[in-house]
């Protein structure tokens, strides 16, 4: 199961992943630095391990950062966040916390984004993104996601490499699951009601498009650029979480099938309903919500 959980903050994505992931224990790359505050009970119970990736986005401090942004200058020191994340991922096959995990959880892609942005800005020597940087940005998201998926599909829950052409290791253990969490953003795409497109040359050699008429509104992942729209294609399961409040009582909902705005998908044949409690076991077994 290669899963993305979309939803606004507080919709229960991390909770669903940590508490209900079918393959335990969960190893969380904790970019939001939430585990300490929210899931210490799971850590104590041994069902959750974690590595905090967070680091200040800019090593220059806030004053230096404003200066660099205004002057479009390179930050004076390299930001460490993306490097931290990359080196943790690169060492996965030697890291016992990765190797022993049933599920790898990246929480969250949304909070990882500013680290990658700061890193590209540093490497480029500019604080503003121009055309070329957007293609680096998209390529890095695709590659990072691809590497994480490959690791999980080829490494069994006991840490063995799964032989080519097999679904289990020599000890009959299946592949690891991957869960990523991501916030949502609203995106507009040209559709039947879009009347005209005006294309102009933009700064840095790219093209900018202006649309006339009505656009189709989509809700996609909160990564800027094309990857936010396309990320779902990498995952076998994409669910949207939300909180409904009725008579002052919150109810957490996990939608697993498309709703016309979001590109959702579910790989479990027993999940016939569109919406479930945010619990993987309920979705896998098709256990309907209580009224």
* Residues at the contact surface with Zn ion, assessed by CB under 5 A: 156, 158, 160, 169, 171, 173
- Name the residue nearer to Zn ion (CB basis): 78 or 168: 168
- Name the residue nearer to Zn ion (CB basis): 166 or 289: 166
Q: Please give the Cα distance from 31 to 85 (Å, whole number).
A: 9
* Burial zone of 128 (CB within 10 Å; 0-12 exposed, 13-18 middle, 19+ buried): exposed
> Residue 11 CB, nearest distance to Zn ion (Å)?
36
> Residue 175 CB, nearest distance to Zn ion (Å)?
11
- Name the residue nearer to Zn ion (CB basis): 169 or 182: 169
> Residue 155 CB, nearest distance to Zn ion (Å)?
10
Q: Please give the Cα distance from 145 to 117 (Å, whole number).
A: 16
> Residue 288 CB, nearest distance to Zn ion (Å)?
36
- Name the residue nearer to Zn ion (CB basis): 12 or 102: 102
Q: Give the chain's end-to-end CA distance (angstroms, integer).
A: 28
Q: SS3 for 72?
A: coil
Number of other residues whose CB lies within 10 A of the CB of residue 147: 14
Give the CA radius of gyration of the chain: 21
């Amino acid at each position: 199961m290669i899963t993305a959980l979309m939803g606004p903050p507080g919709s229960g994505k991390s909770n669903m992943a940590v508490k209900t992931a079918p393959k335990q224990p969960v190893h969380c790359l904790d970019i939001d630095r939430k585990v300490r505050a929210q899931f210490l009970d799971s850590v104590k119970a041994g069902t959750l391990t974690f590595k905090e990736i967070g680091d200040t986005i800019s090593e220059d401090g806030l004053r230096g950062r404003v200066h660099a942004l205004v002057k479009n200058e390179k930050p004076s020191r390299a930001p460490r966040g993306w490097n931290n994340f990359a080196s943790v991922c690169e060492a996965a096959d030697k890291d016992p916390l990765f190797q022993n995990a049933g599920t790898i959880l990246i929480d969250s892609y949304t909070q990882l984004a500013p680290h990658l942005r700061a890193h590209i800005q540093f490497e480029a020597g500019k604080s503003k993104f121009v055309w070329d940087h957007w293609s680096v940005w998209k390529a890095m998201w695709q590659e990072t996601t691809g590497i994480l998926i490959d690791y999980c599909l080829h490494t069994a829950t006991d840490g063995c490499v799964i032989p080519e052409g097999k679904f289990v290791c020599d000890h009959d253990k299946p592949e690891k699951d991957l869960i990523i969490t991501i916030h949502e953003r609203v995106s507009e795409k040209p559709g039947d009601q879009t009347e005209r497109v005006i294309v102009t040359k933009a700064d840095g050699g790219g093209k900018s498009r202006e649309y006339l008429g009505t656009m189709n509104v989509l809700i996609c992942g909160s990564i800027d650029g094309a990857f936010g729209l396309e990320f779902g294609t990498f995952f076998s399961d994409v669910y949207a979480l939300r909180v409904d409040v009725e008579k002052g009582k919150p109810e957490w909902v996990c939608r697993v099938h498309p709703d016309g705005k979001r590109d959702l998908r579910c790989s479990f044949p027993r999940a016939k309903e569109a919406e479930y409690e945010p619990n993987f076991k309920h979705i896998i077994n098709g256990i309907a919500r209580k009224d």
